[in-house]
């Protein structure tokens, strides 16, 4: 990450920052590249009293989010609700939640056609950092606790107030149907290069509708969920590694708590990144799962239903296959959705996720056993 003080990108960052309720002199900007979808900059300003204030400027990708204004409405409701709740519980909670800054013109975002579309500005959560991959069990516990607490914080919002910004976002059978369609159309002539992966996914497909079927029949409750609970969406305290807050609220929507837990299993139990090409490094680590589940259940055991608890381990496997299918669909479609650094990037990600799914599958009985043990400990 280089600090840009001058040049075209620095000018661009200063220009975008200039649209928001920010005071001080622009010092420098830097690009943050840990998401696959939105463009993100951090901008730093010297205030009148000599402090340095930092802000996050982000362009919402309108190929992915067809209605960015709806995304902003959802984000605004969620951040305000959380601020309200956090402030009522702890007096000194400043900086613990994302806050949107007003833009010129009275909204909390601004449309800048010369800068590619819709931009917004958040506070930079100071004194924190993120991890792209999990390194120890403490981080796994904290990730589980942070996203579990998030679910608790939004649990008393009216689900009807939050609308779906990407319909069927975690509908695994629909993701499978989209993959089949892309493989049949094969516009990039890439289907031959991933025949093995397609066949493997096909053998797993009878399991894909398990959670959505349970949702339809009312066995699983619809809640407001985060939907993108990867480990690098948790801000941890720089010194203690304790969870401070979760970020990336664009996909907060009505959904299943299980897809949130599942995505944590995908990203907080494996020490390799999701695009690690050496598959011998891609496997889940049971101690990380144990800590993750403990952190999550410490925050959620009061309100999760028995059926949700029963499906926790399975959800880790399911979403790992789902994300693998999404990478493969994008590879077949010509890499339009996920930012790619090289032509086969999405295929490498797919193979990685399928390898991880196999590893998770092999651990399912032990995962179940651990969950049962944890749940029992709360009733003692
Ligand atoms: C995308 O941009 P990022 O990394 O926060 C994607 C998630 C995937 C993830 C895979 C809106 O999230 O669903 O799980 O990549 N976000 C969207 O790393 O599609
Ligand atoms: Mg995201």
In this predicted model, what pLDDT tens digit does every residue of 19-53 receive, in sequence order?
A: 999 999 999 999 998 889 999 999 999 999 999 99
**Is residue 129 pLDDT above 60, yes or no?**
yes
What pLDDT, on the 0 to 100 scale, is given for residue 2? 67
Across 129-134, average pLDDT: 94
The two beta strands, 25-32 and 234-237, are unpaired
Does residue 93 have a pLDDT over 50? no
To test the pocket of ligand 1, the residue of 33, 37, 175 to mutate (highest count of ligand atoms within 8 Å of its CB) is: 37
Mean pLDDT within 103-119 = 94
Residue 4 has pLDDT above 80, yes or no: no
User: pTM to 2 decimals?
Assistant: 0.94
Strand partners, 46: 25, 52
Task: Flag whether pLDDT at 94 surpasses 80.
Answer: no
Paired with 320 in beta bridges are: none
Name every protein residue with a CB atom under 6 angstroms from any ligand 1 atom.
Answer: 35-37, 64, 228, 230, 248, 251, 274, 323
User: Residue 267: nearest ligand to its CA?
Assistant: 1
Q: What is the dihedral of CA 187, 317, 32, 347, to 10 degrees?
A: -30
**What confidence score (pLDDT) does residue 91 get?**
52
Residue 14 and residue 104: Cα distance in Å, rounded?
Answer: 14
DSSP annotation of 28 reads: E
**Two tokens at 253?**
């929507």
How many CB atoms are located within 10 Å of the residue 181 CB? Answer: 12
Which are the contacts of 28, defined by CB distance < 8 A and separation ≥ 6? 3, 4, 5, 10, 43, 44
Return the ligand number nearest the Cα of 165.
Answer: 1
pLDDT recorded at residue 105: 93
Task: Spell out which residues have Cβ within 5 A of ligand 2, the ion.
Answer: 228, 248
pLDDT confidence band for 89 (50 / 70 / 90): confident
Mean pLDDT of the chain: 94
Q: Long-range contacts of range 332-338, CB-CB < 8 Å, 24 or more positions apart?
A: 332/179, 332/182, 332/183, 332/185, 332/186, 332/187, 332/188, 332/190, 332/191, 332/194, 333/182, 333/187, 333/188, 334/187, 334/188, 336/63, 337/37, 337/63, 337/64, 338/36, 338/37
What are the extents of the domains in the chain? 3-65+99-124, 129-379
CA nearest 318: which of 141, 140, 146, 176? 176
* CA 4 – CA 18 distance, rounded (Å): 16
- pLDDT score, position 95: 47
For residue 145, the model assigns a pLDDT of: 95
Considering only CA atoms, which residue is closest to atom 15 of ligand 1?
A: 36
Ligand 1: residue whose CA is nearest its atom 3? 35
For ligand 1, what atom is nearest to the CA of residue 227?
13
Closest ligand to 65 CA?
Answer: 1
Q: What number is the average pLDDT over the span 244-267?
A: 96
Could you tell me the strand order of the sheet in which 52-59 lies?
25-32, 39-46, 52-59, 117-123, 110-112
Per-residue pLDDT, 9: 86
Q: Residue 252 Cα, ligand 1 centroid: separation in angstroms?
A: 12
Measured CA to CA, the distance from residue 153 to residue 86 in angstroms comes to 8
Cα 4 to Cα 153: distance, rounded to the nearest angstrom: 37
Shortest-distance ligand to the CA of residue 35: 1
pLDDT digits (tens, 9 = 90+) for 211-244: 999 999 999 999 999 999 999 999 999 999 999 9
Q: Which atom of ligand 1 is found nearest the CA of 166?
A: 11
pLDDT tens, position by position, 139-170: 999 999 999 999 999 999 988 899 999 999 99
Least confident of 33-42, 317-326, 342-351: 33-42
CA of 326 to the centre of ligand 1 (A): 10
**228 C-alpha to ligand 2 centroid (Å):** 5
The reply to whether CATH 1.10.600.10 applies to domain 129-379 is no
Assign 1 a pLDDT band (cuts: 50, 70, 90). Answer: low
DSSP E strands: which ranges in the chain?
25-32, 39-46, 52-59, 110-112, 117-123, 128-129, 223-225, 234-237, 243-246, 253-255
Q: What's CA 359's distance to the chain center, in Å?
A: 22
Q: What is the mean pLDDT of residues 349-357?
A: 98
Quick check: 103 and 19 in contact, CB under 8 A? yes
Q: Which of 130, 178, 228, 322 to mutate to test the pocket of ligand 1 (most atoms within 8 A of CB)?
A: 228
If you measure from the C-alpha of residue 37 to the centroid of ligand 1, how many angstroms do you get, rounded to a whole number?
7
């Amino acid at each position: 990450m280089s600090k840009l003080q001058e040049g075209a990108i620095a000018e661009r960052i200063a220009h975008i920052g200039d649209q928001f309720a920010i005071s001080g002199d622009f010092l420098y900007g830097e690009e943050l590249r840990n998401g696959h979808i939105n463009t993100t900059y951090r901008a730093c300003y010297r205030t009148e009293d000599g402090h340095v204030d930092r802000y996050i400027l982000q362009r919402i990708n309108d190929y992915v989010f067809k209605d960015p204004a709806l995304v902003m409405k959802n984000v605004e409701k969620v951040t305000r609700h959380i601020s309200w709740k956090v402030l009522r519980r702890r007096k000194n909670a400043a900086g613990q939640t994302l806050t949107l800054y007003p833009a010129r013109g009275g909204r909390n975002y601004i449309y800048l056609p010369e800068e590619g579309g819709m931009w917004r500005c958040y506070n930079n959560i100071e004194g924190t950092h993120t991890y792209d991959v999990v390194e120890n069990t403490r981080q796994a516990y904290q990730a589980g606790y942070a996203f579990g607490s998030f679910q608790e914080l939004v649990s008393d919002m009216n689900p009807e107030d939050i609308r779906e910004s990407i319909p069927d976002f975690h509908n695994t059978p629909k993701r499978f149907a989209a993959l089949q369609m892309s493989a049949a159309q094969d516009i990039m002539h890439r289907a031959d290069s991933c025949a093995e992966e397609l066949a493997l996914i096909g053998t797993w497909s009878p399991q894909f509708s398990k959670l959505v079927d349970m949702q339809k029949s009312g066995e699983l409750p619809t809640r407001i969920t985060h939907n993108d609970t990867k480990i690098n969406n948790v801000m941890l305290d720089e010194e203690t590694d304790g969870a401070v807050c979760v970020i990336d609220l664009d996909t907060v929507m009505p959904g299943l708590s299980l897809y949130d837990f599942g995505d944590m299993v995908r990203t907080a139990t494996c020490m390799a990144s999701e695009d690690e090409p050496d598959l011998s490094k891609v496997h889940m680590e049971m101690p990380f799962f144990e800590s993750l589940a403990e952190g999550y259940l410490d925050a959620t055991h009061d309100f999760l239903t028995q059926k949700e608890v029963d499906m926790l381990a399975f959800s880790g496997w399911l979403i790992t296959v789902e994300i693998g299918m999404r990478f493969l669909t994008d590879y077949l479609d010509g890499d339009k959705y996920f930012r790619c650094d090289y032509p086969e990037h999405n295929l490498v990600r797919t193979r990685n996720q399928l390898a991880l799914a196999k590893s998770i599958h092999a651990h399912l009985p032990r995962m179940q056993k651990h969950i049962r043990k944890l749940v029992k400990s709360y009733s003692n």
